[in-house]
Chain A
């Protein structure tokens, strides 16, 4: 059982988000604890990405508070904000690698911005991060447009890891990958999670990934979030959650994982 006495890494309280008259979140609560892999699930248009953007401070929510490591994201001064930003890594859905830089330069970008390091060290660190995510050293010299989908996801993860974050946000890390690459990515994530002691928040639609990696799951339904362990989710009577975790695809993923 997880230690409840430790302060949560992320605490979202009664979050509200709306676009015009369309309410996306209304009183959404979410807690992520140290060293968890927390999966965020929800139907299309339930505001998974909006939630992520609110947590990252990229979007100002209409109501509620977001705390990272006990600090309110919205009221932080610019200097604190910069140190907070350095404490987490993010990968975006389509990688969001800077297209005019090589993979190695993409990885070095945050390092160059925040530290003054020699070119030799920067090259070494690019090598390290490529090795961490299982990319060949040669991939560093390539441009994002020359990479396959799976390599882009890994390169984006390498960039997110460059500042040695303790907290990692992944937006659909396995979408658009073939099942073998997706499984390899799951394995990589579990490996890094164990080795680097990361806390991971992951938006995903991939049931295999969910069953394979996540310690807890938060489902966005009816503008709220229901969080539970996977076993708890399987017994949840809510109709959407039930059909999500008991559909044909879910059964296959579950069987594979338990069997």
Chain B
């Protein structure tokens, strides 16, 4: 392979012979050769292009930059042997380009942990204010709805009830059924060792109705709809659709956020009821197959194990979880600015945070219910 360039002394200066492939494809080799040129050059340099094949813009540019880095003024560089047609343009651009004088020294950063902590707390404070403002705006829209029912946007609400609720029924049912089969199966394995098979029914009933039905549904909905809310509103932000709504005198909170929040508050309790039913069905089926407990006995035992509050203590959590999921999703969506990466980051944040908040709220409910014997 030919070496792309050769530097030879000629008279008072140098002759630089350019050989072989000088296209963009040969750039790595050319780059390496340019590196090996002396750091500083004196005297006129004549570049001979007559043996350079298919010279490209980038290699020619790299050559010019390298020569001027070596301290050669433009007047001392000449070209011969049919130089490429764009060379003149490059020479002109190269002259225009102001070089930074001397190496750039990055300013020293003396940022102690205290400054970091301060910055962090200011940021958190701003976040908290943003969340509070968001909640306030939602409350304002809902407050208005008493005087102006149109603010509720019934058609939009209906669409979201359909999209977040009706279409989620199959997946919620399936997962509730399977999880409760698993719980019943593990319970049966353990309890049958004491001959307490029948308590599997209590286990399944209480676990599904109090906790699992609603928690599973909330997590599925957070993954399905929380992310969808954030992504939908986020893309609208990127396309300036929300700005367009504002400019037309419409409130994006009223148009986009409140219908989603209300829809989820309506839908999640209903989905929870379905999940409860499917969970009990799963437990019943496993009891029948694995433990030979016939269905009438299962339902009898089920009624025995229920206290009046069991079902309600699960269901009452659903609207709270729904509000958390919907508000986190829409809030994160409204925060999207500028780039596709932000959209991805905030959509992920929406799902992770809403699931976290749901579980945190569930723990608080558990403590509360225990204190008030609910």
A, B co-complexed: yes
Residue interface mask A132-148, B partner, CB < 8 A = 1: 10000100000111000
Report A-chain residues with C-beta under 8 Å of the C-beta of B56. Answer: 164
Residue interface mask A61-100, B partner, CB < 8 A = 1: 0000000000000000000000000000000000000111
Residue interface mask A111-128, B partner, CB < 8 A = 1: 000011110010011011
Residue interface mask A180-211, B partner, CB < 8 A = 1: 00000000000000011100000000000000
Asked if A58 is an interface residue, CB under 8 A from chain B, the answer is: no
Report B-chain residues with C-beta under 8 Å of the C-beta of A125. Answer: 58, 61-62
Residues facing A in B64-94 (CB within 8 A) are 65, 85-86, 88-90, 93
Are B24 and A100 neighbours in the complex by a CB distance under 8 Å?
no
Q: Closest CB-CB distance, A148 to chain B, in whole Å? A: 15
A99–B86 CA distance with the chains assembled, in angstroms: 31
A118–B337 CA distance with the chains assembled, in angstroms: 32
Task: Identify which of B28, B96, B341, B342 contacts A117 (C-beta below 8 A).
Answer: B28
A143–B339 CA distance with the chains assembled, in angstroms: 9
A128–B24 CA distance with the chains assembled, in angstroms: 14
A137–B100 CA distance with the chains assembled, in angstroms: 11
Report B-chain residues with C-beta under 8 Å of the C-beta of A23. Answer: none
Report B-chain residues with C-beta under 8 Å of the C-beta of A32. Answer: none
Asked if B216 is an interface residue, CB under 8 A from chain A, the answer is: no
Report A-chain residues with C-beta under 8 Å of the C-beta of B31. Answer: 117-118, 121
Task: Identify which of A100, A115, A116, A131 contacts B96 (C-beta below 8 A).
Answer: A131
Task: Identify which of B62, B93, B98, B338 contacts A132 (C-beta below 8 A).
Answer: B93
Asked if A163 is an interface residue, CB under 8 A from chain B, the answer is: yes
Are A128 and B85 neighbours in the complex by a CB distance under 8 Å?
no
A125–B341 CA distance with the chains assembled, in angstroms: 26
The B contact surface, by secondary structure, is helix
Q: Closest CB-CB distance, B64 to chain A, in whole Å? A: 9
Are B28 and A115 neighbours in the complex by a CB distance under 8 Å?
yes
A152–B50 CA distance with the chains assembled, in angstroms: 39
A137–B338 CA distance with the chains assembled, in angstroms: 22
Q: Closest CB-CB distance, B54 to chain A, in whole Å? A: 10
A100–B344 CA distance with the chains assembled, in angstroms: 11
Are A127 and B97 neighbours in the complex by a CB distance under 8 Å?
yes
Are B339 and A128 neighbours in the complex by a CB distance under 8 Å?
no
Are B97 and A164 neighbours in the complex by a CB distance under 8 Å?
no
A56–B62 CA distance with the chains assembled, in angstroms: 31
Task: Identify which of B27, B86, B90, B98 contacts A121 (C-beta below 8 A).
Answer: B27
Q: Closest CB-CB distance, A61 to chain B, in whole Å? A: 29
Asked if B191 is an interface residue, CB under 8 A from chain A, the answer is: no
Are A128 and B93 neighbours in the complex by a CB distance under 8 Å?
yes
Asked if B340 is an interface residue, CB under 8 A from chain A, the answer is: yes
Asked if B25 is an interface residue, CB under 8 A from chain A, the answer is: yes
Q: Closest CB-CB distance, B20 to chain A, in whole Å? A: 17
Are B338 and A164 neighbours in the complex by a CB distance under 8 Å?
no
A54–B57 CA distance with the chains assembled, in angstroms: 29
Report B-chain residues with C-beta under 8 Å of the C-beta of A144. Answer: 339
A–B complex contacts, Cβ < 8 Å, 5 sampled: A99-B340, A115-B28, A125-B61, A145-B337, A195-B86
